[in-house]
């Protein structure tokens, strides 16, 4: 009988144990079929919508409701109902849930994976996502995206006042974020009468979307104290994950369903532990290890250059054409292990000088 070397057996075992977070079910974000299709399906008390943002299905419902409400204004994005950039958000929330990042980091979990539909107020990831789910939903309601202005008051987690619950509350605490989301929804409505060519209209809408998205992420710095509950490896990944958004947003990336699945699938399928060091994490796939390595390189290089790599990248994304090239470059960097980081740097330099 053929006997494999011990090293081969270990590699085979590692491959069999490797897993990625599940982010889709029948081609849609996980548990999509269980989400609300109308605002009235959420909790309502005295004509006020009172959803619980610490319930996974409610947060996922926010995204479904926003996608349905904004689809009539998304014609420039393409002909498919899954072309809206908002699709990236429910897929990202699904990745956070199945990878265990919405669970309470102070409590034991099932192998680091989330169980049930609760989102812990102690979760750094859940806190950050609050800014890209609750705040845009409240803005959409205020801007009449769901019909007549709908009064919404979010349920708050017990024992904390860290999270805003109404449009007025969020506008007071995080005024720049709400202004940006308001501008996005107002811009969508105005785009119907725009005479711009479709590619320019699309670029303008995506620009408004990413300005609001990044405003949410920047405001989520108030969540940073919750990072102390995680391993140094997870903290470093969280920081590099945020840093990667600076590059993606500058390209006005169209985070539709198809593209978002492509970019989110290689994210780590569990919380990182002390000692995890890509690209040599045995129970993670080659794709997960590669993504972690690239994220780390981008963050470390930007830090070494005093923040100039992000600034150079943003300067290079100065036109519709350059942003298209930028999206192609990011795809190569993140999804093609053979694409050299030195090539990335040289192309950025050349593009920046052309602006």
User: Which residue, 216, 217, 126, 121, is CA-closest to 175?
Assistant: 216
Q: Collect the ranges in the chain with pLDDT lower than 50.
A: 1-19, 110-113
The number of angstroms, rounded, from the C-alpha of 120 to the middle of its chain's C-alpha atoms is 18
Are 221 and 196 in contact by the 8 Å Cβ rule? The answer is no
- Predicted TM-score (pTM) of the model is 0.91
pLDDT at 8: 35
CA–CA distance, 251 with 302 (Å, rounded to integer): 17
For 179-199, write each residue's pLDDT tens digit: 999 999 999 999 999 999 988
pLDDT at 107: 81
pLDDT at 338: 83
pLDDT at 109: 53
Are 130 and 155 in contact by the 8 Å Cβ rule? The answer is no
Pull the structure tokens for residue 47.
């004509």
CA–CA distance, 181 with 164 (Å, rounded to integer): 15
pLDDT at 110: 44
Buried b (16+ CB within 10 A) or exposed e, 237-248: bbbbbbbbebbb
CA–CA distance, 253 with 181 (Å, rounded to integer): 17
pLDDT at 250: 96
Are 98 and 23 in contact by the 8 Å Cβ rule? The answer is yes
CA–CA distance, 306 with 252 (Å, rounded to integer): 24
pLDDT at 20: 65
């Amino acid at each position: 009988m053929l006997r494999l070397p011990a090293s081969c057996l270990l590699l085979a075992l590692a491959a069999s144990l490797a897993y990625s977070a599940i982010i889709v079910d029948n081609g849609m974000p996980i548990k999509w079929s269980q989400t609300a299709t109308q605002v009235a399906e959420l909790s309502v008390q005295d004509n006020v919508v009172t959803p619980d943002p610490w319930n996974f299905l409610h947060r996922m419902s926010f995204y479904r409701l926003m996608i349905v409400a904004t689809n009539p204004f998304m014609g420039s994005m393409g002909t498919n109902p899954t072309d809206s950039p908002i699709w990236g958000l429910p897929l990202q929330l699904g990745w956070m849930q199945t990878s265990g990042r919405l669970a309470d980091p102070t409590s034991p979990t099932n192998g680091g994976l989330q169980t049930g539909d609760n989102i812990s107020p102690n979760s750094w990831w859940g806190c950050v996502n609050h800014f890209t789910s609750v705040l845009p939903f409240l803005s959409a309601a205020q801007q009449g995206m769901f019909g007549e202005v709908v009064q919404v008051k979010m349920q708050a987690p017990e024992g904390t006042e860290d999270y805003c619950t109404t449009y007025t509350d969020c506008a007071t605490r995080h005024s720049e974020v709400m202004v940006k989301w308001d501008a996005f929804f107002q811009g969508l409505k105005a785009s119907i009468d725009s005479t711009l060519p479709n590619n320019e209209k699309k670029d303008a809408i995506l620009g408004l979307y990413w300005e609001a998205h990044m405003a949410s992420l920047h405001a989520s710095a108030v969540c940073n104290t919750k990072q102390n509950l995680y391993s140094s490896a997870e903290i470093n990944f969280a920081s590099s994950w945020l840093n990667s958004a600076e590059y993606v947003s500058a390209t006005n990336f169209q985070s539709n369903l198809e593209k978002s699945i492509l970019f989110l699938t290689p994210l780590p399928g569990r919380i990182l532990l002390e000692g995890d060091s890509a690209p040599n994490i045995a129970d993670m796939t080659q794709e997960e290890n590669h993504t972690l390595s690239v994220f780390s390189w981008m963050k470390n290089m930007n830090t070494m250059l005093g923040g100039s790599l992000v600034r150079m990248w943003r300067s290079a994304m100065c036109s519709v054409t350059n942003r298209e090239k930028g999206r192609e470059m990011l795809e190569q960097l993140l999804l093609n292990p053979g694409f050299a980081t030195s090539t990335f740097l040289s192309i950025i330099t050349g593009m920046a000088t052309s602006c």
